[in-house]
Amino acid sequence: MAHSAGGAFYLRIDDLDQSRSRPEWEDLIKTDLHWLGLAWQPEVWRQSGRLPRYIEALQNLWDQGLLYPCTCTRADIRAAASAPQEGAPISGPDGLIYPGTCRPEKPCRGPMPNVPLRIDMARALSRVEDLSYRETGENPGDISIGRLDRTAGDVALARPGMGASYHLSIVCDDADQSITHVIRGADLSAATGIHVLLQRLLGFPTPIYHHHRLIRDNAGKRLAKRDDARAISTYRDAGLTPAQIREMVGL
């Protein structure tokens, strides 16, 4: 799609979570992409080398009074979200929606602490008027983003041991590489509203998005290494062609 539009295709390695990053896994990614017929620009960005850029963006949002420290663990969030007075727990793009345990009544001021940080979603939404983006994938059209404070909650933007979250890092990377079109799986469609909001708050342009359908096994499980599901190499060894893989995801 990039080449047919006269554009360039970029490969980035999202390696902020070092516990799930290995050189051999990166080699497998490149092997699979080469087999699919993809060729990318020579420079491959690694997010682990761009932490100062993400800290700069975090500082911007902190100075706007939109971030607050949060020390809640996943277990704390499960317990709070499951309390009887909260009703049935609601899930968003990052799992259970954070119940706002650490959210302050007033914006945090002073030096930005080196701790996990969340965005006050309701306060951030009040700063933005137009919150929409263009989708060209399975459900094309101009997508208007609704109440992210209800559907996503106060998502984490700075995580322990990682420096920055996926949401913040890719928004900065897309802006810094002048990305015009983002093509990715439908599993990330629900997170797009978060990314568009961050783009507005940080003064970044919003790309056009194309979310394609996922490859799933007979049980309906999507292809993902974390679930030990079928890998691209499994399909390759079974005799499928790159053209058949592209057809499976609707490209």
Whole-structure pTM value = 0.90
Nearest Cα to Cα of residue 93 among 218, 23, 185, 160? 185
- Measured distance CA(2)–CA(9) in Å, rounded: 6
Q: Per-residue pLDDT for 166 more than 60?
A: yes
Q: pLDDT tens across 122-136, in order?
A: 999 999 988 999 999
Q: How confident is the model at residue 88 (pLDDT cuts 50, 70, 90)?
A: low
CB-based contact 195:170 (threshold 8 Å):
yes
- Distant-in-sequence, close-in-space partners of 189: CB < 8 Å, separation ≥ 6: 137, 209, 211
Average pLDDT over residues 142-167: 91
| Domain boundaries, given as residue ranges, for the chain | 50-131+142-179+191-202
pLDDT number for residue 11: 95
Domain 50-131+142-179+191-202 is found in CATH 3.40.47.10: no
- Measured distance CA(102)–CA(72) in Å, rounded: 8
Q: Per-residue pLDDT for 89 more than 80?
A: no
Q: Per-residue pLDDT for 139 more than 90?
A: no
Q: How confident is the model at residue 81 (pLDDT cuts 50, 70, 90)?
A: confident
Nearest Cα to Cα of residue 201 among 94, 136, 125, 118? 125
